Amino acid sequence: MSTSKNTDSKVEETASTHLEDIPSDATEVKQPGVTARALVIVLAINTIYFAQLVNIVGSGSLARDITAVVGGSTESVWFTSTIAILTAVLSPPVSQAADLWGRRWILVALTACGCIGAIIVSRATNVSQVITGFTVGGICYGAQPLLHAVTSEVLPRKYRAWAQASVNVSASLGGIYALLVGGALTRNQRPENFRTYWYTAAGIYAIAALIVAVLYRPPPRELQVTLTTSEKLQSLDWLGYALLVSSLTLFSLGLSWAQNPLPWTSPAVLAPLIIGVALIGALLVYEIRFKQDGLLHHDLFRHRNFPISLFCIFTEGLSFYCANNYFAFEVGTLYTHDALRVGLHYSITFYSLIFFALIAAFYCSAVKAVRLPTCVAFTMFALFNALMASIRTTTPEANLWGYAVFLGAGLGVCLTCLVTAAQFATPPGLIAITSGLMIGMRSLGGVVGLAIYGAIFNAALTSNITSRVAGASIALGLPPTSVADLIGALSAGDMTGALTIPGVTPTILEAAGGGLQQSFVIAFRDVWIAAASFSLVAVVVFEASLFLVDPKSSFDERVDAPLKVLPLDVQSKGHI
């Protein structure tokens, strides 16, 4: 990793010397440029990202509809958390395996798991089966880094930012589909239609797997043909995988159970949390001291842009997963129970994401810089979270349309710039594991964030809801035995059913509803304050994005993995 304290231009020159990793005579080989075949591959790969967003956005936006049918509302956090955990633990090993066995069939097989998981969710009759479905479907997210890698490596480097923007556009379209179709299916108190939604998700996954199987036929990679199966298996970092899976699983379990429903001092919370942290420490020691070419391949850290990008995308994950779980939830709780309107609110994020991802791609390609837009992106995250924290019961619903624009701007710019910066900061032959660590770190941010947000939300809601709702309604004559039923009916938005509860009058219902809304406002406010604090860590405290080096010389004509095989001497320098 470069630690130069000279000017940015000198650091950039040093970085580009080792980042290019190509001898001077390699540039004499004619590069294939942008071919029709490469563009078709990019389109095919992006269909998988579309399918993945349909699944993960639905896991958050339709969580209340699912639990309304199958029960287990306190377990709904695991719908998205399971996906985030599997993305974090599978991304690095899948990326390493793809360098040894090739990308194509790994992409197809894991995408097929998404189809199977969606079918399980669609047929579930209890919350355990739903979680099982998201677990099986979550396996497909291990391929997510390959989506970023393949779109980048089949196009010339000068279009790297555009490649990443295309991924973000397809992801945004998947998110828009999820919100609008999911909202339309479940509106007007029809939560059971979540099954239809996941039937369609299964079909999208199946089509995506078929398209990639038919269209993506890259030439064999060097390691793919030179190593035997035994040598490939031996080259994998099995101990690193075991430590990664066990540490993140235990760590997230401990965090998720805290205040949901167990106290922080409970052995069931402390034991997995402490063991998980210890195993994370053991993983770092092993990878740093004893394994130079494992999950944390030492050649990845020769330039400061990569660790900075890891830190930044971890923080981005904290913001995205918070919004994915709580934005639509808050709109549906405070403003409208119309699922389609709720989806329309959140969909503004993805329209904004598309626009700003394209703007970021244009800026990065024209100026050949990533530093300034990345800093702006984190400012957008902090602003969005601060605005959401300012919401009160008197805040107009129209304000939220504007708030979502800031979230989309942050996501579109951040993802485009950070993945581009990370891929340029590491050797071309390690682009898959680079992308794997980036996506894994983003999901780790989601795992940690969801657990923390869940604990904050549940603690605030529990401490306020009973006193505010009970206090307001009992004072007006409601029997104490009816309080629990009233809270349940209000939380579900069932006003008609609430009026049938013994002792409930329209006056009591209005007072109790006000108390319930105040309780939710406080709980949501605390969550957004925490998310804003995490964003400010990147913007104010560390200003990490400002330390990124603009990789101007890396935006060139070279193609890291051309679909037409180049001479072996060029391949051996990273074009494999």
The answer to whether the Cα torsion of 77, 78, 83, 88 is positive or negative is positive
- DSSP letters spanning 58-125: HHHHTHHHHHHHH--GGGTHHHHHHHHHHHHHHHHHHHHHHHHH-SHHHHHHHHHHHHHHHHHHHH-S
Answer yes or no: are the C-beta atoms of 151 and 315 closer than 8 Å.
Answer: no
Looking at residue 395, what DSSP letter applies? S
Cα–Cα nearest to 31, from 422, 573, 567: 567
Whole-angstrom distance, CA of residue 460 vs CA of residue 456: 6
Answer yes or no: are the C-beta atoms of 167 and 52 closer than 8 Å.
Answer: no
Whole-angstrom distance, CA of residue 484 vs CA of residue 512: 11
How far from 176 is each of 47, 179, 194, CA to CA, in Å? Answer: 14, 5, 16
Residue type for position 63: A
What is the pLDDT, as a whole number, of residue 63? 87
Looking at residue 467, what DSSP letter applies? I
Rounded to a whole number of angstroms, the CA Rg of the chain reads 24
Stretches in the chain below the pLDDT threshold 70: 1-34, 259-261, 491-493, 538-548, 550, 552-576
Answer yes or no: are the C-beta atoms of 49 and 167 closer than 8 Å.
Answer: yes
Residue whose token pair is 């980042």? 19
**Cβ-based neighbour number of residue 341 at 10 Å:** 15
Angle of CA points 501, 335, 184, to nearest 5°:
95
What is the pLDDT, as a whole number, of residue 525? 95
Strand partners, 258: 262
Cis preceding-peptide flag for 191 (omega within 30 of 0): no
Cα–Cα nearest to 141, from 187, 107, 169, 100: 107
Answer yes or no: are the C-beta atoms of 177 and 58 closer than 8 Å.
Answer: no
Q: Six-digit token pair at 289?
A: 């001291």
Whole-prediction pTM: 0.79
Whole-angstrom distance, CA of residue 294 vs CA of residue 286: 9
What is the pLDDT, as a whole number, of residue 553? 66
Residue whose token pair is 């890698």? 149
Q: What is the CATH number of domain 35-237+291-467+516-554?
A: 1.20.1250.20
How far from 10 is each of 6, 7, 23, 149, 243, CA to CA, in Å? Answer: 6, 5, 20, 28, 39
What is the pLDDT, as a whole number, of residue 329? 87
- DSSP letters spanning 497-528: HHTTSTT--HHHHHHHHHHHHHHHHHHHHHHH
End-to-end CA distance of the chain: 24
Q: Six-digit token pair at 273?
A: 């949390």
pLDDT in tens, 233-279: 888 888 988 998 888 888 877 877 776 667 778 888 889 889 999 99
Give the CA-trace dihedral at 92, 172, 52, 205, to 10 degrees.
Answer: -140
Please list the alpha-helical segments (H only) found in 390-430: 398-424
Whole-angstrom distance, CA of residue 126 vs CA of residue 121: 10
Q: Six-digit token pair at 566?
A: 């180049």
Residue whose token pair is 């629990």? 484
Q: Six-digit token pair at 371?
A: 């530093």
Q: Six-digit token pair at 120?
A: 């399980």
What is the pLDDT, as a whole number, of residue 30? 52
Residue whose token pair is 């997230």? 252
What is the pLDDT, as a whole number, of residue 543? 54
**Cβ-based neighbour number of residue 259 at 10 Å:** 22
Length of the chain in residues, anyone? 576
Answer yes or no: are the C-beta atoms of 431 and 153 closer than 8 Å.
Answer: yes
How far from 574 is each of 59, 236, 426, 530, 566, CA to CA, in Å? Answer: 38, 19, 11, 42, 11
Looking at residue 24, what DSSP letter applies? G
What is the pLDDT, as a whole number, of residue 446? 84
- Which residues neighbour 226 within 8 Å (Cβ) at sequence distance 6 or greater? none
Whole-angstrom distance, CA of residue 11 vs CA of residue 2: 8
Tell me the backbone φ, ψ of residue 229, rounded to 5 degrees: -60, -40
